Chain A
Amino acid sequence: GAGVSQSPSNKVTEKGKDVELRCDPISGHTALYWYRQSLGQGLEFLIYFQGNSAPDKSGLPSDRFSAERTGGSVSTLTIQRTQQEDSAVYLCASSQSEAGETQYFGPGTRLLVL
């Protein structure tokens, strides 16, 4: 069946511009996560959506980062006024229900801020 998909696969932008990254989770998965992997770093948790509950935004690095999940399915991660340190691979994952379930990852969006 279809896995987690993310778009775009690559994004190059200029410093100061806004970017939107999209994630389509596996159908029926209620939990959705955003992570970031910077060069030489481990995967960094950003935000977690579970069903209709308020998202856990504790991992967002600054108020320039925000995310939405519409209709309990597709999610968009928005980065405003991008900075060079935002350059990373942004990974989305979904899991079937409760936290602690194994997560299925998308291929990631490679963001480069010039």
Chain B
Amino acid sequence: DQQVKQNSPSLSVQEGRISILNCDYTNSMFDYFLWYKKYPAEGPTFLISISSIKDKNEDGRFTVFLNKSAKHLSLHIVPSQPGDSAVYFCAASFFTGNQFYFGTGTSLTVIP
């Protein structure tokens, strides 16, 4: 049973525009969320995280929004760049836990 879902397997965005990647989760006890970026033939790399006490965390062009009531988080990339083209995974965990539950990923293509 997939506890973290990314319902859009792919997304295409023009360079300079905003990319919005979405993630939904089912377990309301999750209290720590992360986004990873993965290029082909490489392992995922950590991008940005948010704990459940916040509803927004920003790092440069990347902002993660958390809506706990909707059990939804999103990653905004603005402005999008061609180098952002990759697969983006969201993940959720319990802050004191040792397992991360990953979505299936969204493949982002930024068109020059």
Do these two chains really belong together in a complex? Answer: yes
**Interface of A toward B, CB cutoff 8 Å:** 4, 31, 33, 35, 40-45, 48, 50, 56, 58-59, 91, 93, 99-100, 102-108
1/0 per position for B42-80, CB-CB distance to A under 8 A?
Answer: 111110010000000000000000000000000000000
Main secondary structure of the interface of B (DSSP, over half): loop
Known A42-B2, A42-B104, A43-B89: A48·B98 in contact at CB below 8 Å: yes
Q: Does B97 contact A (CB under 8 A)?
A: yes
A43 to B104 CA separation, bound complex (whole angstroms): 7
- A107 x B104 contact (CB < 8 A): no
A105 to B103 CA separation, bound complex (whole angstroms): 16
Closest B-chain residue to A56, C-beta based? B98
- B100 x A43 contact (CB < 8 A): yes
A48 to B98 CA separation, bound complex (whole angstroms): 7
Known A48-B98, A59-B99, A100-B93: A105·B32 in contact at CB below 8 Å: no
A55 to B2 CA separation, bound complex (whole angstroms): 24
A31 to B93 CA separation, bound complex (whole angstroms): 15
User: Which residues from chain B contact A108 at a C-beta distance below 8 Å?
Assistant: 43
- A42 x B44 contact (CB < 8 A): no
Between A and B, 15 residue pairs with Cβ closer than 8 Å are A33-B100, A42-B2, A42-B89, A42-B102, A43-B89, A43-B91, A43-B100, A48-B99, A91-B44, A99-B96, A100-B95, A100-B97, A104-B45, A105-B43, A107-B43
